[in-house]
Structure 1
């Protein structure tokens, strides 16, 4: 099969049949399938199954009871189950008219010989249009996103006029699914920033949405900003801030306990226990809250986090003792502890990113009813 058309949906039952009907008419005899990755809590899955049984174009449904990572996670799930060499991503609300599919697909298939591995629909090339952005918030959101993304990624987005586009085709063997971290909903931006792609753009028109209600709101500007920042510099600044506050608390607790008559070892151990718990709570609520659903369970996360931090603290405390006693740094215990905390921060950040909040590929498999038609 040449192409899998991935359509992420959330309560889009009013648009399903029209989308399938127009897609079938548009693609003609091309070798394609449609995969709906559905996070709905209404009758959309039932509508998809009914429509699938009445149309000739192959249609499959992936229903996710636990919508891990939202729209971006739905697209990534579609990539995983696709049968085609190419995956086309388009909205389920008819804002991406199915009549644009032939040009997108044909450009992709013809470009394979020249190494093309990504074809994106752009509203900002000749023939493209964003007239479907019917309100000021969405117009602002679109231009804000494109502007800030191109400002922060001038090289990687040099050939892209519309990195915020949700209508594109990508050759699946050209991307590393494991490297994609779709915390945000702009998966094309994620692909472009993670790897250098051989991009070609075609004109795209953003039409007014079909039935149902728009999912766009001002909060998406904040989500997009966060996605771009994480793509640029990762979560280290946030982790560092939490670690810094925890470090200050650690030193303050240690100092206060020493003033109360505790030995520096007793004070260091107590300070470590208190700050380990406090840092974990802060990370859960302010830094990694969007990864909790796709990671291991809460108590497992806490066990891994606290366990590693306890080991790191024990080693750090031993090194502190060795430095103070063997190097005679009794008058510099706080300064020595501060230096060790910096080293410990780098180790803890790496462990939390790669282990504690690692996204488990099978985390949502038991919760999903996957029906292939």
Structure 2
């Protein structure tokens, strides 16, 4: 197959019929399909099935009950679920014009590019569909900041924040992508050295429904930029450093009130374990929580490991202080530095390891007019999926 159009959706039922109609018309003559990767909690899956039964264009539905990684996770899951020569990602709200699909495919074939971006910021492109001047200003500022942070990787595109882009099969390491934030193109371009071409995008007004853009997504973008630029371990180190300062301050302060250094060290350890866990949950491993253990299991693993590490560290603190002339605070600082690496490895590889969630449900809804008729009267489950589809793997967030 030449093309899979990957459409991540969240409660986009009102837009499905028009989207399928326009995509089918746009890709006429192209060996193509639509793959909806749906995280909805409304009737969007049922609407997709009903609409698809009225069209010849092959439509697949991959519904995720546990939407690991949000929009980025949905796109990654979609990329794993297709073997087409090209995959084009577009939003389900029709702000991305389906009529641009052939241009993306043609540009990729003509240039040999790995990625073709539909850009609002080239000749013929426009961002007028953004709701209000504030959103346009925020969008333009975000692009400038992003390109400043990654000048070499993003020099080939004028719109690294675009959600409408095509990927040549085999051009990227899908398993190397992190499902975080909602700007998956940024994740792709910043992580790998790729050749990029562009076509103009006229960003249209939303047909129906409400925009998902909010302050929460802005914070998520900031976190994504930090992680891409400095790595997750940098944030972990920053929180660890804050915890170390707090640990030393508590240790010193309690001793000033007459508490023995061993008791003070134990109190400081418990306080900083709790504080560090809460900060790491919120700022460092937030994108991994959906596929990891429950919060209480994560807390137990964290407390057990850090408690053990703290006990060993306290013993070594006693041993070194009692057998040398070194000050307890200096010794504690050195031991904390050694324990940092062990804690990070345990947290990232054990505590927040993807332990698996329920498998997404894959429907091959329409393959032909005959299949369309059958789909109108039968609910096609994952067990009925076409063998060529292969197994659908759980989105891995690392």
- The TM-score, its normalising length taken from structure 1, stands at 0.89
Alignment of 1:14-29 (within 5 A): 14-29=14-29
Q: CA deviation at 1:159?
A: 0.9
Alignment of 1:178-217 (within 5 A): 178-217=175-214
Greater relative contact order (Cα < 8 A, sep 6+): 2
Q: Report the more deviating stretch, 74-83 or 279-288.
A: 279-288
Give yes or no for the alignment of 1:306 onto 2:303.
yes
Q: What is residue 226 of structure 1 aligned with on the other side?
A: 223
Where does the alignment leave 5 or more consecutive residues of structure 2 unmatched? 366-398
Contact residue 114 and residue 195 of structure 2 kept, 8 A: yes
Alignment of 1:281-296 (within 5 A): 281-296=278-293
Q: What is residue 39 of structure 1 aligned with on the other side?
A: 39
Is the alpha carbon distance of 1:323 and 1:85 closer, same or farther for their aligned partners in structure 2, counting shifts above 3 Å?
farther
SS in 2 for 1:174: coil
Q: CA deviation at 1:351?
A: 2.9
Q: What is residue 75 of structure 1 aligned with on the other side?
A: 75
Aligned counterpart in structure 2 of residue 358 of structure 1, from 331, 353, 357: 353
Aligned counterpart in structure 1 of residue 153 of structure 2, from 149, 153, 156: 156
Where does the alignment leave 5 or more consecutive residues of structure 1 unmatched? none
Q: CA deviation at 1:110?
A: 4.1
Contact residue 141 and residue 221 of structure 1 kept, 8 A: no
- The TM-score, its normalising length taken from structure 2, stands at 0.84
SS in 1 for 2:274: helix
Contact residue 254 and residue 268 of structure 1 kept, 8 A: yes
**How far apart are the structure 1 equivalents of 2:55 and 2:279?**
51
**How far apart are the structure 1 equivalents of 2:19 and 2:253?**
66
Contact residue 105 and residue 169 of structure 1 kept, 8 A: yes
**How far apart are the structure 2 equivalents of 1:218 and 1:283?**
20
Q: What is residue 317 of structure 1 aligned with on the other side?
A: 314
Is the alpha carbon distance of 1:370 and 1:286 closer, same or farther for their aligned partners in structure 2, counting shifts above 3 Å?
same
Contact residue 68 and residue 364 of structure 1 kept, 8 A: no
Q: What is residue 349 of structure 1 aligned with on the other side?
A: 344
Give yes or no for the alignment of 1:337 onto 2:332.
yes
Q: CA RMSD in A?
A: 2.3
Residues 105-158 of structure 1, C-alpha deviations (whole Å, 9 max, x = no match): 1222344xx4x2111111111222222223123202220111110111111111
Q: CA deviation at 1:46?
A: 0.8
Structure 1 residue ranges (4+ consecutive) displaced by more than 6 angstroms after TM superposition: none
Q: CA deviation at 1:63?
A: 1.6
Question: How many residue pairs end up in the alignment?
Answer: 365
Q: CA deviation at 1:275?
A: 2.5
Q: CA deviation at 1:101?
A: 0.5
Is the alpha carbon distance of 1:272 and 1:216 closer, same or farther for their aligned partners in structure 2, counting shifts above 3 Å?
closer
SS in 1 for 2:280: helix
Alignment of 1:93-132 (within 5 A): 93-111=93-111, 114=112, 116-132=113-129
**How far apart are the structure 2 equivalents of 1:20 and 1:109?**
24
Is the alpha carbon distance of 1:58 and 1:285 closer, same or farther for their aligned partners in structure 2, counting shifts above 3 Å?
same
Q: CA deviation at 1:13?
A: 1.4
Contact residue 7 and residue 89 of structure 1 kept, 8 A: yes
SS in 2 for 1:372: strand
Q: CA deviation at 1:257?
A: 5.2
SS in 2 for 1:201: strand
Q: What is residue 370 of structure 1 aligned with on the other side?
A: 362
SS in 2 for 1:173: coil
Residues 211-244 of structure 1, C-alpha deviations (whole Å, 9 max, x = no match): 2222223443333222212211134454334323
